[in-house]
Amino acid sequence: TAESQVVGPHQPVVAFVDDDVILPCHVEPAEDVTAEILEWTRSDLNPRFVHVWRSGQDLVNTRNPSYRGRTSLFINELKHGNISLKLSRVKLSDEGTYECSFPLMGKKSFVKLVVASDAATSPVISLSGIDKNRGGVVLQCESAGWYPEPELLWLDGEGNLLSAGPTETLRGPDDLYTVSSRVTVEKRHS
């Protein structure tokens, strides 16, 4: 109806790689939208369609191939105005801004999805060498499987920041980051 509006979340939705996530969106006030044309899209994709509902059914052929078999609506909830999208087996490439819209009514809302990896390995610290000039040891720290790109900091036993060499960052073919850094620790004379 003319008074209704499409409402999305006020904050970004955060999901981890391989999780299932719900991109919340609903019509206010609640009304039956089963017979409407509903589109979930991402403007940065070609084709931009993530999920399309038309004439009471899903249109699979219009969907961007990267989303095939991974999206679904809560069909029994459409009659109550729930137009949320379930996205299964989240990938890093799913990160972005989604538009949930009724194109014929010109009503829409946006949902920002932020994707993170929880596959990061615990940092491994190893002895990298000895700095004879400064009378200390060189330690190296490395950790892999991060997304987004992490910040690596060295702290001493009291929690003070140590000045370390530059952090080396590698982005793998899976788009996950590996970071490593070295620091020289001098022997304290007590």
The reported pTM is 0.76
Helices (H), the chain: none
67-86 residue pLDDT tens: 999 999 999 999 999 999 99
115-160 residue pLDDT tens: 998 778 889 999 988 888 878 899 999 999 999 899 999 998 889 9
Domain 124-186 has CATH 2.40.50.140: no
Look at domain 5-116 and name its CATH class.
mainly beta
Contacts of 147 (CB under 8 A, 6+ apart): 17, 92, 115, 116, 117, 175, 176, 177
51-65 residue pLDDT tens: 999 988 999 888 999
Q: Domains of the chain: which residue ranges? A: 5-116, 124-186
E strands, 78-117, are 85-87, 96-102, 107-116
